Amino acid sequence: MFRFIVRRLLVTVPMVLVVISLTWVLIRLAPGNFYEGERKLPAAIEKNIRAKYGLDQPVYVQYGRVMGNILRLDFGNSLRYENETVNEILRRTVPVSAAIGVSAYLLALLVGITMGTVAALKQNSKLDYVAMGLSMLGISVPNFVLGPILVLVFSLSLYWLPPARWGGFPSWNLLLPVLTLSAVYMAYIARLTRAGMLEVLRSDYIRTARAKGLTERQVVTRHALRGGLLPVVSFTGPALAILITGTVVVERIFAMPGLGNYFINANLNRDEPLILGIVAFASILVLVFNLLVDIAYGVIDPRIRY
Amino acid sequence: MTETKTTRLLAFVIAAALLAAGCAPRDHRGQFFGQIEPPQGQVLRYISGSEPETLDPQMSTGQPEARVAIALYEGLVEYHPKTMEAIPGVAERWTMNGDASELVFFLRRNAKFSNGDPITARDFVYGFRRGLRPALASRVAYLAYDIKYAEAFNNGSAFVRDPQTGRFLLASEAPQTSPDGSQTVAAAAAPPDEDALFKAELGKKGEDAAADTPFHKYIHAPERLVVPADAKDREKALKDAPKLAALVAGKEFVPVKEEDIGVEAVDDYTLRLTLRQPAPYFLGLLPHQFFRAIHEKTVERFGVNWTKPGNIVSSGTHMLLEHKPYNQVVVVKNPQYWDAAAVRLEKIVFYPLEDNTTMMNLYKAGDVDATYNHTVPASWLKSGVRNVKDYMDAPENVSEFYAINTTKPPMNDVRVRKAFNMAVDKAALADYRVVVKPNYTLVPTIFLKYPRPKGDPFDPERAKQLLAEAGFKGADGKFDPKKFPSSEVELNYNTNESNRQIAEFIQAQWKQNLGVTVALRNTEWKTFLPMRSRLEYKGFARSGWVGDYMDPYTYLSLYIVKEGGANGTGWWDPKYNKMLEDANRETDELKRFEMLAKAEEYLLEYQPVLTLVIPATSWMKKPYVKGMYPNPGTLHAWKFVYIEYDRAKWDQGTPDMTTDTLAD
């Protein structure tokens, strides 16, 4: 187990470097630059800017600088927000995105697993149809539709909840974005749980458990859920990584100062250090979460050993 | 809860949501839009646009930054809240010499920074010089290029000195490049007597109110010749100009220093600006954030971090309390401000937001008190938001147009360009876009004293005739759309919903009026910009300009190009440049406007642009926010803004823009 973890962590480093290099090449291939605007800048000003940011140096020097920054985990200052370092931006925005994302995911787990389990236990009942109908709705209604509808009802018609803006954690401002964000995950988890549970409930070891005379409740919580939730666990890794790096649509609709807004704008602004910093952060997160998922598998499923 | 109850509840929620969605934009709650409860205390919550790039006034380019900068920094002059013309700021009065090439500002003696330090002429000298430093690499440094030697310092030039006599060569001695590319040597034989010239200049321009100084003598002497200071760049520049190379051979090159720029603190409270050429519009530029007072010690001590809370020292009506990017910028009243008694807003909270619907939601819910311009989505305008009493609308200091690539056929033929212009019904376009006005010229209508040229009217018949004359005709001599190479013309725009709608409208107009189908092509903004400036497009490219100041010249100067084209059209004309230069030399305002209008007429004759519409400012402000006006640039001097608690005094519609009083 220990050797497995160390090996996986060691692989992470070259993988992140490859991802960053590819991203850097893509940024350089994209037309445009961070400083040009509606009016073409005088040549002298363009020259001053290029000199200030080292863009007049040979490409390999610039690439070397980027790689050096990555290895020191210091991405330098943003090009657009010049008095902020990329690390400062990450430190400030990740907690915001994580607060929304993790809350949404916890809510999704709670509701999704309950719905999925109930649906599986009462397969083909009305309850099953309602739960699965709702989850189909949750998957099909995109969050840029659900968000505004929630705002219209709860903020602009009933005036109960603020329509947008960050109000700290926890606060009422979080309720609508968390609901909006969790809907699709809730639905997805409900379906995964139902499918997993249905499969497990038919397996031999459940029959054994029942034969031993355990109550239905013990059978479900102690034996069935463990196996039935494996698909949810593997879904959780990448889902959490995505949620923590920010979800653009929800952050925009609800004006949340998270990482998602920065990510989109960094690309639109050709803000190279910021793009690289966020990509590095996101790829490290995905790799680490996938590792955690694999470890969790070993813990939950007795059939898997490393 | 039983299943039927759940289903019923669900159905109810969905129905309620749809009902709310259906009527929300039309839900006026009477005369105003949404909640109208004034906030506690003199606090303004304002949506200021996207996240400010920086709070350093000299590094920012846009209006979102300007809105915060106006609170934090004061300039020599400030924007008039209604007209946006320059009104006294740190300077209590100023004089301009006869040909508008020299301005003297007399500063008030009680102006202070937020730490109590006095604001003197030296602070402005420092600010202007710093903004132009090549190492700072400010994108807006060009705004100050009218100041003598400012451009030379910013672009790293050097004066040329004769090592024997110690005399600097003059710009007038350099061989002039004429439009056909040939070089002529002008007046190189006898070097002029600088002192005599200076006296002549003084005699012409009358007495300044400020003392004459050695610096003044130097800066008023005829302009010196400059060449690139960097040896490699100089070599490159001189290679194509053999006569200039011969002239400067064996001479010394003295880099232009920041002390050489035409900005002088005559004494602590007198500032003199010397321009390289007459520029009557220059005063109107000075309220721009680039020229506002900054605190030297703070800037030099903290470098790029000087605007962070805790470090920053400000000069404006307010000072920084908190800056949380993508969340809020909070400023509070500056007790050291010289006119603090007149400042009523104790606090301003700027919300940087990007999504229009979110902004309007916050406004409607009463969480913000005012928004910036173009915040009302078009669909909301059509459904009645236009008619509520807190909707603000006024013509804007903005012009929307399409640039035409005049270097590629068939658009290199002026008749074709004119035909495409005449085939667009701009009045219909304005109707379609709801709150804009049709525009037949480059300069928008807001300059009341400017005698705008007429521009070509909507005339499809004449358009077809012109196209036939250009050779695209059938056997009957009439225009034949099949003969027109429509694959060589595209309509390019940067990806954006309203750009697309306009492009589709124009496309339909051409189809309907000429029978020509032009392809639409949308490109992401940062990809679009170099494509347009390098003329890598066919036909038309969306364009627009927000005026930097209140003068037609801010639009007309876009097409002054000296070395063959970087304005996105490929069109340039020395005669046009000359017409503008001559106009700026004219001291009589009305005469100058006439001359500028002639130049615009000349430009429109060549039709390098297809002008479309003048946008309207289109924003919202709660009735209890007073002293905030729909001015042409949607930039507000916060000094005049306040919250009114007496309902009887609330604004019932657009506030009165005609009176000249600043507060009401």
pLDDT tens column, B389-408:
999 988 899 999 999 999 99
In this structure, which amino acid lies at residue B117?
Answer: D
User: Residue B48 — φ and ψ, nearest 5°?
Assistant: -105, 0
Per-residue pLDDT, averaged over B358-370, amounts to 93
Nearest to A196 by CA among A240, A150, A229: A229
CB contact under 8 A, B526 and A31: yes
Looking at residue B488, what DSSP letter applies?
G
Quick check: B250 and B17 in contact, CB under 8 A? no
Whole-number Cα distances in Å, B207 to A6, A121, B97, B199, B200? 82, 98, 8, 11, 12
A32 vs B contacts (CB less than 8 Å): 524-530
Q: How far is CA A249 from CA A145, A211, B442, in A?
A: 10, 50, 38
pLDDT for B369-393, tens place per residue?
Answer: 999 998 998 888 887 888 899 999 8
Confidence of residue A295 (pLDDT cuts 50, 70, 90): confident
With a cut of 90, say whether residue B498 has pLDDT above it: no
Q: What is the pLDDT of residue B14?
A: 56
Closest by alpha carbon to B221, among B190, B245, B252, B200? B200
For the beta carbon of residue A54, count every other beta carbon within 10 angstroms: 10
Mean pLDDT of chain B: 88
Over range B75-99, report the average pLDDT: 93
Alpha-carbon distance of A167 to A154, in angstroms, equals 17
CB of A47 within 8 Å of a chain B CB? The answer is yes
A130:B135 CB<8 A: no
CA dist B631 and B63 (Å) reads 13
Contacts of residue B245, defined as CB under 8 A and 6 or more positions apart, other chains included, come to B238, B239
- Can you give the pLDDT at residue B194? 47
Is A33 near chain B, with CB under 8 Å? yes
Q: B355 contacts in A (CB within 8 Å)?
A: 252-253, 255
Residues facing B386 on adjacent strands:
none
More confident residue, B564 or B353: B353
* B165 contacts: CB under 8 Å, gap ≥ 6: none
d(CA B259, CA B153): 9
Is the predicted pLDDT of residue A116 greater than 50, yes or no? yes
Q: What is the pLDDT of residue A305?
A: 72
Q: What is the pLDDT of residue B362?
A: 93
Phi, psi at A54, each rounded to 5° = 70, 20
Instruction: Compute the nearest-CA separation of B656 from chain A (Å).
Output: 31
Please tell me the predicted confidence (pLDDT) of residue B2: 45
Among B residues 596-635, those touching chain A with beta carbons less than 8 Å apart? none
Residue type, B29: R
pTM above 0.80, yes or no: yes
Q: How close is the nearest chain A Cα to the Cα of B128, in Å?
A: 16
Q: Does B302 touch chain A (CB under 8 A)?
A: no
Is pLDDT of B662 > 70? no
Q: Give pLDDT tens digits for B47-84.
A: 999 999 999 999 988 899 999 999 999 999 999 999 99
Please state whether beta strands B86-88 and B77-79 pair in parallel, antiparallel, or not at all (unpaired): antiparallel
Which pLDDT does position B13 carry in this prediction? 56
pLDDT per position as a tens digit, B178-187: 544 444 444 3
Does A167 have pLDDT greater than 70? yes
Q: Do B355 and A82 touch (CB under 8 A)?
A: no
Average pLDDT, whole number, for chain A?
Answer: 90
Asked if A137 is an interface residue toward chain B (Cβ–Cβ < 8 A), one would say no
Alpha-carbon span B519 to A176, nearest angstrom: 42
Nearest to B362 among A40, A163, A269 (CB): A163
- For residue B491, the cross-strand partners are B520, B540
Is the per-residue pLDDT at B206 higher than 60?
no
Question: Which residue of A lies nearest to B51 if distances are taken between CA atoms?
Answer: A81
CB contact (8 A) between residue A151 and residue B361: yes
Q: What angle do CA B45, B49, B52 make, to 5 degrees?
A: 100
The burial of B180, by beta-carbon neighbours within 10 Å (0-12 exposed, 13-18 middle, 19 or more buried), is given as: exposed
**Smallest Cβ distance to A80: which of B53, B308, B525?**
B53
What average pLDDT does this structure show over B237-264? Answer: 92
Across residues A261-274, what is the average pLDDT?
A: 92
- The pLDDT of residue A303 is 76
pLDDT computed for residue B12 by the predictor: 56
The per-residue pLDDT for B207 is 44
- pLDDT value at B557 more than 70: yes
Nearest to A70 by CA among A86, A81, A54, A56: A86
Q: Do B155 and A261 touch (CB under 8 A)?
A: no
CA dist B548 and B550 (Å) reads 7
Locate B580 and state its tokens. Answer: 């503008």
Which member of B56, B306, B527 has the closest CB to residue A31? Answer: B527
Reported as a pLDDT band with limits 50, 70 and 90, residue A210 is: confident
Q: Which residue, among B289, B350, B373, B314, has the nearest Cα to B549 in the 3D structure?
A: B289
Element (H, E) at B106: strand B102-107
Distance CA B94, CA A247 (A): 53
Whole-number Å distance between alpha carbons of B70 and B78: 8
User: Contact, A270 vs A32, CB < 8 A?
Assistant: yes
Alpha-carbon A95 to chain mean position: 12
Among residues B107, B116, B71, B102, which one has the least CA distance to residue B89? B107
- State the Cα–Cα distance between residues B51 and B53, nearest whole angstrom: 6
Which chain B residues are Cβ-neighbours of A249 within 8 angstroms?
none
pLDDT band at residue B19 using 50, 70 and 90 as cut-offs: low
CA distance B555 to B87: 22
The pLDDT tens digits for B284-325 are 999 999 999 999 999 999 999 999 999 999 999 999 999 999
User: Which residue of A81, A150, A164 is in closest CB contact with B325?
Assistant: A81
Query: How many contacts does A have with B, using Cβ atoms within 8 A?
Result: 172
CB B86 within 8 A of CB B391: no
Q: Any alpha helices (H) in chain A, and if so which ranges?
A: 2-29, 43-52, 59-71, 86-121, 126-140, 143-151, 175-201, 204-211, 216-218, 225-228, 230-244, 248-253, 259-268, 272-300
- Supply the pLDDT for residue A4: 85
Side by side, the strands of the sheet bearing B91-96 are B91-96, B102-107, B270-274, B263-267
* Region B641-656 average pLDDT: 92
| A88: nearest Cα among B351, B498, B136, B304 | B304
CA–CA distance, A11 with B285 (Å, rounded to integer) = 57
- In this structure, is the dihedral angle defined by the CA atoms of residues B564, B568, B571 and B572, taken in order, positive or negative? negative
Cβ burial, residue A173 (10 Å; 0-12/13-18/19+): buried
Residues 228-247 of B with CB under 8 A from A: none
Estimate the crossing angle of helix A259-268 against helix A86-121, to 10 degrees: 120
Quick: pLDDT tens for B601-637: 999 999 999 999 998 889 999 999 999 999 999 999 9
Nearest to B367 among A31, A153, A162 (CB): A162
**The pLDDT of residue B442 is above 70:** yes
Q: Could you count the other beta carbons within 10 Å of the beta carbon of residue B330?
A: 18
Contact B21 A162 (CB under 8 A): no
DSSP state of B548: S
- For B:331-390, CB contacts with A below 8 A are 351, 353-355, 357-358, 361-362, 364-365, 367
Tens digit of each residue's pLDDT (9 = 90 or more) over B517-555: 999 999 998 899 889 988 999 999 999 888 888 999 999
Please check the confidence at residue B268 and state whether its pLDDT lies above 70.
yes
Q: Which positions 268-297 of A are in contact with B (Cβ < 8 Å)?
A: 268-270
